[in-house]
Structure 1
Amino acid sequence: MQNRAAQFVDTVSRHLTAGCVLEAMASALNDIGIDCFCMNLLATPKQKFEEVILASKLPSDWINLYKEKAYSEDDPSQRHSKRVVRPYDWKDAPYDSEREPRALEVVHRASDFGIGTGFVVPIPGSAGNIGNVWMGGYKFQILNRHKPSLHLMALYAFAHVQRLNGTAKQNVKLSDREREILTWIAAGKSVIEIGEILTLSDRTVEWHVQRSIAKLDARTRTNAVAIALRDGAIAF
């Protein structure tokens, strides 16, 4: 799956529309049952969901119902993705079925459309989460070992679409050491392993990691890697 993520990054970097990015994701992930996607910003109380969708590959009837019923106001996942940084299974977004009948309705109606399961990647920003990427399908079946690669792919895809939309920040300059360490992180190495490879202490490696995160306006290592890949600062 890590090789597939690397191929995806290389392919998507050449795409010029958000629709092409989602088609590339579908092509890369179809064999594990992922062929539906939604990429959106987190709506403010005054925004409608259609105003914050960046790209979507969902059943049109579901999107129309979701907008008509204003489900984004009660969708447990939209709420949960504001609060967490780590990816999660869509069905695990918490809600109270007795006190929140609308949330229960969202979950049931999604199942009616065959998209009641999925994987959600929150998109972190410097002052909190700014959006999320949902991916799923009628034959959705991913293993835990797939999730780190899906996480990176979603972060990269979102960052690339931001760039296409003109909402990404200007590139920042990373030092040679910062690029080197982020490249090893992209390859799946831990801080301890990177320290051994580069003959650096764990503390020094972590210091460079945190510097990179701050420079890239990221919140996590994976987020920083995705932005660095998008900007061409590192490569797989």
Structure 2
Amino acid sequence: MKAWFQRLTDLTSIARTEDMLKDALPDFAAELGFDNYAYLYIHPSRTYAVSNYPKEWQRRYFEARYTSIDPVVRTAATTLRAFVWSGEHRQRSESKEIRRFYSEAGDHGIRSGISIPVRTARRHMSMLTLASSRPTLTLEHDIDQIAAVTAVAFLHAKIEQHSTTPTAQLSLSLTPRQANCLKWSAEGKSMKAIATIENMSFATVNFHLNNARKNLDAVSLAQATALATKLGLI
């Protein structure tokens, strides 16, 4: 695998266009015995994928906001090391939604794989996954962490350089009332003041602002306001 990651680094360095990169990655994954590849960039204002996963699965993944519950993404974010995973080796304590996630992924031929996460600017993350339809995965040799991370870091830089067109991405939106309340919040108004201005109850304003925060996948009202402003939603 070390040689494979070195070849990926070499390929990335000479790919002059996004089409060259997208055309080569499926063959590269197949050389190592994998069915699919998926590059995933996770950012509060722009989460997207470049992948040859089935289109239906890519659409479902983002529509259901599976980045927030995907166990592979969670492991990647907490370990920041290349690792092997399998839908077969699950814990009994896993929630119903995670079991459903694994089941849906398996229905699309995604049952095991290798994922390599790297830290990007401002402490965000991107990761490359090589996926297989096999229920479990056995590697003859341990993954060379340095070679793996170096290759994916080069891949991330090249995808960013080309402003590569995503094959799927997270769509962020607000309802008119959410946007209106968030706009007032961005202008420094308190929830009590917004309630008075808009002739709403305090609870209704809180309801709309909380849903706006959830829709933007933000951890706080301040972050939601900043994201909505950056994305031109308010």
Answer yes or no: is the 8 Å Cα contact 1:121–1:155 preserved in 2. no
- Name the structure, 1 or 2, with higher relative contact order (CA <8 Å, separation 6+): 2
Residue 141 of structure 2 is matched in structure 1 by 145
Answer yes or no: is the 8 Å Cα contact 2:114–2:131 preserved in 1. yes
State how many pairs are aligned. 161
Moved more, 55-64 or 27-36: 27-36
SS at match of 1:90: strand
Q: Which structure would you say has the larger Rg?
A: 2
TM-score of the superposed pair, with normalisation by structure 2: 0.56
1:171-186 equivalent positions in 2, closer than 5 A: none
Residue 23 of structure 1 is matched in structure 2 by 23
Shift of 1:129: 4.8
Does 2:118 match 1:120?
A: no
Answer yes or no: is the 8 Å Cα contact 1:122–1:129 preserved in 2. no
Specify which of 117, 123, 130 is matched with residue 125 of structure 2.
Answer: 130
Query: Quick one: which amino acid aligns to residue 57 of structure 2?
Result: W
Q: Percent identity?
A: 16
Answer yes or no: is the 8 Å Cα contact 1:18–1:54 preserved in 2. no
Residue 193 of structure 1 is matched in structure 2 by none
Query: Quick one: which amino acid aligns to residue 12 of structure 1?
Result: T
Aligned equivalents of 1:3 and 1:77: distance in 2?
24
Residue 84 of structure 2 is matched in structure 1 by 89
Shift of 1:105: 1.0
Aligned equivalents of 2:57 and 2:49: distance in 1?
17
- Report the CA distance shift for 1:86/1:3 in structure 2 as closer, same or farther (over 3 A): closer
Which ranges of structure 1 fall in alignment gaps of 5 or more residues? 167-236
Shift of 1:144: 4.7
Residue 102 of structure 1 is matched in structure 2 by 97
Aligned equivalents of 2:123 and 2:73: distance in 1?
14
- Report the CA distance shift for 1:120/1:69 in structure 2 as closer, same or farther (over 3 A): same
Aligned equivalents of 1:69 and 1:52: distance in 2?
13
Query: Quick one: which amino acid aligns to residue 105 of structure 2?
Result: A
Shift of 1:8: 3.4
1:1-236 equivalent positions in 2, closer than 5 A: 1-44=1-44, 51-91=46-86, 97-98=92-93, 100-125=95-120, 128-138=123-133, 143-145=139-141, 147-148=143-144, 149-165=147-163
TM-score of the superposed pair, with normalisation by structure 1: 0.56
Answer yes or no: is the 8 Å Cα contact 1:38–1:57 preserved in 2. yes
Which ranges of structure 2 fall in alignment gaps of 5 or more residues? 165-234
Query: Quick one: which amino acid aligns to residue 79 of structure 1?
Result: R
Answer yes or no: is the 8 Å Cα contact 1:40–1:131 preserved in 2. yes
Answer yes or no: is the 8 Å Cα contact 1:133–1:154 preserved in 2. yes
Query: Quick one: which amino acid aligns to residue 127 of structure 2?
Result: N
